[in-house]
Structure 1
């Protein structure tokens, strides 16, 4: 089982939830999680233990975001294709991806991970520049990763395992 599939299970992403998460609203508003978390943890300076409340709100937002938006009317947009590509990526242990897609997503995830470490240290030290540098690494790594997922989706959507991916079930939208 891939790490990404484990995360998918943690967020309870079933077929319906994945289609809701494919909403551009879900994809773009998910980018608010990191700044909310940073502000929430930084607020310990002003709120003390009361900072647990904004931290809990940020974590709750991360958990509910993929579930609260409607399935988009069209999946023919960059954000939706990111999510469809992520579904293919997390399934790579069952359906191998082309070699040209096998390495860079790991590198980009590692870059985002380095950024996350910088954010954690920066927030702990209350070092604004380290926090911002880390956030820049997180966003650069994640957004480039998502762009690669669009490419992966475009390359794999004709594969027999994925021909139905992203299509509406008959009679529904």
Structure 2
């Protein structure tokens, strides 16, 4: 993404409406049991929203909220992965594995229309994303303070 898009994506409305899209996405896919192919209409709307979302809100130039600092921290991470503390890299790897497992469970649950893997998978994905944002927030704050991120 371009710098302007990152600043817009750092808007808390962008972050939280992306999280709000998760249950809507799940419901859209699940609705194939009730609406058949018409489920593609709400699914397309959700996917379209996720595509335009990062640029849909006013930019944040000075991040003060937890989510804004997290997005700025994610940008720092993408620009300079090599200089990150080893502990942060380990946590981010663990969260990637957790997110992958959540995604696999979510897909299984949606294909089979089974509630427990769907809910558990979505929970793992959201939990992992929130934890990642928290790690990125700490990275951002640490870099501002010129300290080592925990």
State the TM-score, normalized to the length of structure 2.
0.90
Aligned Cα root-mean-square deviation (Å): 1.6
Which among 105, 120, 128 is matched to residue 92 of structure 2? 105
Report deviation, 1:143: 0.5
Q: How many residues are aligned here? A: 146
Which among 119, 124, 129 is matched to residue 116 of structure 2? 129
Report deviation, 1:18: 0.5
Report deviation, 1:91: 1.8
Structure 1 stretches of 4+ moved >3 Å: none
Structure 2 Cα separation of the partners of residues 98 and 127 of structure 1: 40
State the TM-score, normalized to the length of structure 1.
0.79
- CA offsets 1:87-145 (integer angstroms, 9 cap, x no match): 0111234x521222121112112101211111110011111111111111111111111
Runs of 5+ consecutive residues of structure 1 not aligned to the other structure = 1-12, 160-173
Q: Name the SS for the 1:134 alignment partner.
A: helix
**Residues 9-158 of structure 1 aligned to structure 2 (within 5 Å):** 13-72=1-60, 74-93=62-81, 96-157=83-144
Structure 1 Cα separation of the partners of residues 49 and 100 of structure 2: 20
Structure 2 Cα separation of the partners of residues 88 and 72 of structure 1: 15
Comparing both structures, which one devotes a greater share of its residues to helix?
2
Runs of 5+ consecutive residues of structure 2 not aligned to the other structure = none
